Amino acid sequence: MFRIPRLFLATLLAAGLTACGGGLSGADLAQSQAITFNPAPTLTLGGTAQVGATASSGLVVSFSSLSSTVCSVSTDGLVTALALGDCVVAADQAGDASHRSAPQVTQTLSVQVSSPLAQTLSFDPSSSASSLRVGRSARVAASASSGLAVAYRSLTPAVCSVGAGDGLVQGLAVGDCVLAADQAGDDRYAAAAAVTWPVAVVSADALTVPGQPTGVSVTLGSTAQSVLVSAGSVDDGGSPITGYTIASVPSGITVTVASLPATVACGGSCAGHAFTVRADNAQGQGAVSGAAHILGDYNVVLTVYEPQTQPNNSIFTGRFTLDSTTRSVSGLSGSLSESMTDNPMRTVGLSHQLAALSDSTGTGLLVGSFALATTDTFVVAHGNAGWKPGPASDALYAGYPSAANPASGGTGNAYALIFVNPDDPTAALSAAQLQQTAYADCTALGMMGAICMTGTTVAAYGSVGSMGGYPVSQLITRR
């Protein structure tokens, strides 16, 4: 039998492996690694805490924030609390010649307050009944400065009862009814001192003029030239209500209707007016309610065309409340898409309304919401006030160059600036109005080196955005 020499066989096998590319590369030999977080530290609002993690490889771990509106995180793990909520910290290790990159791991810190904040309670006279008939019901309303829900209780249970959650009062016997409002507090607010409200409970047989309407609310009607007026409850005084008189403040609009809710035409824009309600019966005219403002909730979508990141655009999707009586906007908040990220696009939350300016056309307001509780967005340079829209050359992040780049763990801000026409909020914008809208994103995913992504127009600000972006539409709808 023919035998192949061992030396020849070994040489042949080696040549075959080389020809087939069977050699192992450095990447194939690299070891895997894992990251483990140290126990989570305590984090209080406005304070800092140090997180730590180790990689099984012994290599240095880097940190970042996955909730930039709640906290910022430096690459070495120093966490700064910006708002209440859950702060999510990510830990990464990129690997080296001997180790593959580690899977990202996260740790969640709950931002707490170091000591409870004080809160106060108050009853709303315009929404709280002052008298009630035996066997009838009426409503009272109290609010907490914290915005937390209020609970009600009766201090005179033989005379009246009250719903703990809704403030609905039942007259049980003739006498003085005393109601209390409480708020127990939460992880941010201490319990509030109770406040009281008196309600006179009168005989069911006594005939009086109607009580003062409570819970009066006014919203825009189907157009900005009309309003819809409602009332929560009205004591009829033991005699059927024959009608309601609705009057504007300042005067000029007065109508009488048989029932509520009722639509009232203003003869033009209703902005600048508040409205009162009075009930009448066979005994006479009742007391006039407090003047109620015209309040409405709206959605807004601002789209900024981004020529360099198509098909992605920068889009702000938000909501706000408009007080048409005072022509003021509150509570503008929402999210701004980051067009440089993959689909679905990442977003940055904007929850701090910190700017409201009269626009250059004199027809409305420019309202801005920010990611951080500050307007500082850009470096102050070339006359830039730190946040106002401007030429792209001013779009360096706030604090540049001494502050850390947001992409490297620094705290970067973002904002959206919308246009609101208080006289007709859902009307289509003119070109001059749309041109004043803008946005900027100086967070980690909105940065190009030290430059923030922006969207502005040449007509209003002298330049398009830092990547050529400019606003193309804004739509406001009723919510």
Are 69 and 372 a contacting pair, CB within 8 Å? yes
CA distance to 256, 281, 318, 402, per residue, from 479 (Å):
29, 36, 11, 44
Q: How many CB atoms lie within 10 A of CB 408?
A: 12
5 domain residue, yes or no: no
- How far is it between the farthest Cα atoms of the chain? 130
Let me know whether 357 and 384 are in one domain: yes
Q: How far apart are CA 103 and CA 101, in angstroms?
A: 7
Q: Residues 232, 237, 239, 242: is their CA dihedral positive or negative?
A: negative
Instruction: List, for the chain, all residue ranges whose pLDDT scores fall below the cut of 70.
Output: 1-28, 381-387, 390-393
CA distance to 229, 270, 329, 477, per residue, from 220 (Å):
9, 8, 15, 12
Let me know whether 108 and 131 are in one domain: no
Q: According to the model, what pLDDT value does residue 382 have?
A: 57
Q: According to the model, what pLDDT value does residue 173 have?
A: 96
Q: According to the model, what pLDDT value does residue 338 have?
A: 92
Distance, first Cα to last Cα, the chain: 93
322 domain residue, yes or no: yes
- CA-based nearest residue to 418, from 466, 459, 474, 463: 474
Are 127 and 234 a contacting pair, CB within 8 Å? no
Let me know whether 224 and 259 are in one domain: yes
54 domain residue, yes or no: yes
Out of 202, 225, 253, a domain closes at 202
> Locate tokens 């100086």: which residue?
442
Sequence letter at residue 3: R
Cβ contacts of 59 within 8 Å, gap of 6 or more: 33, 93, 95, 96, 99
pTM of the model: 0.68
Let me know whether 348 and 451 are in one domain: yes
Q: How many CB atoms lie within 10 A of CB 19?
A: 8
CA distance to 71, 234, 236, 260, per residue, from 279 (Å):
53, 8, 8, 10
Q: According to the model, what pLDDT value does residue 170 have?
A: 96
Cβ contacts of 8 within 8 Å, gap of 6 or more: none
Q: According to the model, what pLDDT value does residue 15 have?
A: 40
Q: How many CB atoms lie within 10 A of CB 167?
A: 25
Let me know whether 446 and 326 are in one domain: yes
Are 413 and 377 a contacting pair, CB within 8 Å? yes
Q: According to the model, what pLDDT value does residue 386 have?
A: 64
Q: Can you give the CATH number for the domain in which 160 is found?
A: 2.60.40.1080
Residue 406 backbone dihedrals phi, psi, to 5 degrees: -55, -30
9 domain residue, yes or no: no
- CA-based nearest residue to 35, from 56, 64, 50: 56
pLDDT, one tens digit per residue, over 171-216 is 999 999 999 999 999 878 899 999 999 999 989 888 889 989 988 9
Let me know whether 88 and 233 are in one domain: no
Dihedral-angle region of residue 301 (phi above 0 means left; psi in -120 to 50 means alpha; beta otherwise): beta
248 domain residue, yes or no: yes
Question: Virtual CA dihedral for 427, 431, 432, 437, nearest 10 degrees?
Answer: 80
Structural domain of 415: 296-478
Let me know whether 446 and 465 are in one domain: yes
Are 259 and 244 a contacting pair, CB within 8 Å? yes
Let me know whether 308 and 247 are in one domain: no
12 domain residue, yes or no: no
Let me know whether 146 and 280 are in one domain: no
Which helix (H) or strand (E) segment holds residue 13: the answer is helix 6-19
Out of 77, 92, 112, a domain closes at 112
Q: Can you give the CATH number for the domain in which 240 is found?
A: 2.60.40.10
Q: According to the model, what pLDDT value does residue 390 have?
A: 64
Q: According to the model, what pLDDT value does residue 9 have?
A: 36
Let me know whether 434 and 322 are in one domain: yes
280 domain residue, yes or no: yes
Sequence letter at residue 337: S
Q: According to the model, what pLDDT value does residue 399 have?
A: 85
Let me know whether 253 and 357 are in one domain: no
pLDDT, one tens digit per residue, over 176-187 is 999 999 999 987
Out of 112, 136, 158, a domain closes at 112
Let me know whether 379 and 311 are in one domain: yes
User: Omega of the bond prior to 39 within 30 degrees of 0, cis?
Assistant: no
Q: Residues 252, 427, 357, 70: is their CA dihedral positive or negative?
A: positive
Strands 43-44 and 105-112: parallel
- CA-based nearest residue to 325, from 296, 298, 294, 297: 294
Beta bridge partners of 357: 366
187 domain residue, yes or no: yes
Q: How many domains does the chain have?
A: 4
Give pairs for 157-161: CB < 8 Å, separation 24+.
Answer: 159/201, 160/132, 160/199, 160/201
Q: According to the model, what pLDDT value does residue 26 have?
A: 53
Q: Strands, E, within 140-287: which ranges?
A: 142-144, 151-154, 160-162, 168-171, 175-182, 195-202, 217-220, 226-230, 241-249, 254-257, 262-265, 274-281, 284-285
Which ranges of 62-121 does DSSP label H, i.e. alpha helix? Answer: none
